[in-house]
Amino acid sequence: MALLGYVRAARQRLTALLAGPTANTVVHVVMGNEASDLDSVVSTFVRAWQLQQDLSADQTDPARSMVVLPLINTTREDLPLRAEVMHVLGRHNLSPDELCYIDELPLQSWADANALCLHLVDHNRLAKHQQQWAPFVCSVMDHHDVGPSTLQLLGRRPFTRCQHDDAVAADATACEMLLSAILIDTVKLDASKGRCLPLDQAVAGALNEVLDWDLNAEFDRLQQAKADVSHLTVNQLLRKDYKQIDVGRIRIGLPAVNLALSAFFSRPLPDVTEHLQLLRVAGYKQNNTKLSRKYVLPAVQRLAEAAQTSPSTKVQILGLMGRAGSGKSTVAKYLADEMNRLTALLYPALSREILAAVQRLEAADDSVARVLVVEGAALVDAGWHTVCNHVLLVTADDDVVHARLATRGWSEAEIERRLAMQHEHADRATIIIDNNGTDVATLKATVRDKLNNAGLATAK
């Protein structure tokens, strides 16, 4: 059976199992990591496909049946966040509805019935909230060190076996998916990026003998697809690159949205009040573009105030970070004002956390290294530098900074803004690290010398 046919049939087998599994069925589940990025998803598909073939050929007990399922280790709702995965699926007319997801498989029921056999790919340890299934892990296929384990390490990389696999070579879809994943994972087979091994190049070469792709053009298509967020809803955009910190009873979520504010706020905004308490503000027109002023930050300020005064209030706070549009728009000013209000609440709360950490270190015994590192772009603005014995500044010439940041897609205006901010506070630094060079070993030696001179390298 071809790879695509197997993946579709696996979903049908899952449906049959959910309807009424037989007592003599062993369910083999091949599971990638929780990132569910392209290499993890493709590894899951191909490993499960190969395992199905191997187990079918080796099956000797007619009274005991087996099923092999490729499991996507995320939810159906969150898979669209992996744009490159959606691109590759769409390229092969494979619908997300035809896949098996972590929240749709009764893994615990199968484990309780001693009918579960897990096969990990692209990771070698289950996540903490999945540790209850660790006794049922039967194999691992990963390129990281497994360490002491009774598990069988099947390959140093998920694609190892594919180099000489006739079934893969005969299946164009398998070859395309694997080569796409390798190109993304190794940054177009660029050894200088530190992600490409000789094995990657060998496997990619064998796959491209079948496909005869223009690898540069294909990599560009994949990168473009990976950066595309046009298919995402507002909720998905906020979850795509989301970071969260807790300060006491205040929870602060920071999603980075790689869109102009006008593009973000012009999208249909769903009712998310089940998850976040937001203020609803009427829409208005600016430059003939209708923008929905349903901002998060006004609610952040009021919710934080509520958390300060009401011990019973359970608050989730979400702050929005987006690319500013062109010019100083009303939207940008509005958000800046609200961010200032949030800052007035946040900085004191974080200051208390820093001072508490200092007190814990002062009370610690001599076996604990008494060095506390406070890292933050707002170190001086928030006044945290006043509790530090040393302020370390990593600097480089402006032309070097411009060249480096330009390669990351930063605009000249943003680069100049960041440089001005750094120059403004440079006189606060007590340790300055020159980062003009390109040799990492030299930089490490410089850092060690600077810390030694400051009495930090051996501080207790």
Distance (Å, rounded) from C-alpha 159 to C-alpha 333?
A: 50
β-sheet bridge partners, residue 148: none
Give Cα separations from 414 to 235, 337, 406, 419 (angstroms).
Answer: 27, 19, 10, 9
**CATH architecture entry for 3-227:** Alpha-Beta Complex (3.90)
Tens digit of each residue's pLDDT, the chain (460 residues) = 899 999 999 999 999 888 875 678 899 999 999 989 999 999 999 999 999 988 887 766 665 788 999 999 999 989 999 999 999 999 999 999 999 999 999 999 999 999 999 999 988 889 889 999 999 999 988 876 544 332 333 333 344 445 556 667 688 999 999 999 999 989 999 988 888 888 888 888 988 998 999 999 999 999 999 888 888 887 788 778 776 666 566 666 767 777 766 676 666 655 444 333 332 222 223 333 333 334 444 444 444 455 445 444 333 333 333 333 433 444 455 556 666 766 777 778 778 888 888 888 788 777 666 778 887 777 888 888 888 888 888 888 888 888 888 888 788 888 888 777 777 777 888 888 888 887 888 888 888 888 888 877 544 3
At 302, list the tokens: 């009021």
Buried b (16+ CB within 10 A) or exposed e, 132-170: ebeebbebbbbbeeeeeeeeeebbebbbbbbbebeebbe
Q: What's the confidence (pLDDT) of residue 334? A: 54
Tokens 């995402």: give the residue: 232
CATH of domain 366-453: 3.40.50.300
pTM of the model: 0.58
List the chain domain ranges.
3-227, 234-349, 366-453
